[in-house]
Amino acid sequence: MSATMSTPRAADVPAGTAPSPAIDASAVTLAHGRQVALRDVTLRIPTAATTALIGPNGAGKSTLLHAFAGLLAPTTGAVVVGGQRMAEARHRIAYVLQSTAVAEHLPVTVREVVTMGRYAHRGPVGRLRPTDRARIDEAIERLELGGLERRHLGELSGGQRQRVFVAQGLAQDADVLLLDEPVAGLDIASRQRILAVVAEETAAGRAVVVSTHDLADAAAADHVVLLGGRVVAAGPPATVLTRDHLAAAYGARLLRLDDGLLLLDEGSHHPH
């Protein structure tokens, strides 16, 4: 099933005309207090494509997602979304955190969580319209959550919870979908369903940005950004995921070559 399209997509761009980037970051520096996390980031995130953010722990992946979502203001430079400054463009972005970052004991049902995705359009106390309910129903169906709508988050498996939050992101019907390690540690069924939805979103002309620690997932993306406190390389996977670039990003954490892919020792996952 393809998503309902509410804005012009890549397919609507006249032949011979390159589509505008979904996100344009220019000379951006990002910091947490006095600690600089990413310096001098200049990037163009393509529309109608999946972009993978990859790099070691502390490389700045989640920091960059926060900036793309408008949750972290750059100390220098600017982030532009679809030609608009962030203050005007937040409604065009859906940001899905890992379900592990959300309290499992929250007394909310699956449908209530997905419904929150429409708050950007109606507000938390606004009356839902038929179009809102259609978006919610579609998101639930696409993530195969139909039999779980009345269940509470605490009753779900980790994979089911993650699918709920991806469904919430889809319900926003945004032009840009940001996903923070959406399939890390999930069961095979949940992983496959989420990756299928990502493919559907890019086919519908949306930009999807996914942070990952998995080199194979990054290699399967349309566009890759390799981070290491800066942008080490950005572009097609074949030109970014080279031995030299990975060595520059990972340093001593680069282990060995196996079947043409460099295996990386990430250790335990920490917030970054």
d(CA 63, CA 229): 10
Whether 127 maps to a domain, the answer reads yes
Whether 6 maps to a domain, the answer reads no
Domain count, the chain: 1
Sign of torsion over alpha carbons 251, 44, 269, 183: negative
What is the model's pLDDT at position 47? 96
Whether 189 maps to a domain, the answer reads yes
What is the model's pLDDT at position 22? 96
Q: What is the extent of the structural domain holding 197?
A: 19-264
Whether 12 maps to a domain, the answer reads no
Q: What is the pTM of this model?
A: 0.86
Whether 270 maps to a domain, the answer reads no
Residue 260: Cβ-neighbour burial (10 angstroms; 0-12, 13-18, 19+): exposed
CATH of the domain at 256: 3.40.50.300
Tell me if 196 sits within 8 A of 6, measured CB to CB: no
Whether 133 maps to a domain, the answer reads yes
Whether 62 maps to a domain, the answer reads yes
Whether 102 maps to a domain, the answer reads yes
Closest C-alpha among 214, 212, 213, 141 to residue 180 = 212
What is the model's pLDDT at position 99? 74
pLDDT profile of the chain (272 residues), mean per 10:
36 54 97 95 97 94 96 96 90 87 77 91 74 95 95 91 96 96 93 97 97 93 97 97 91 60 50 40
What is the model's pLDDT at position 271? 39
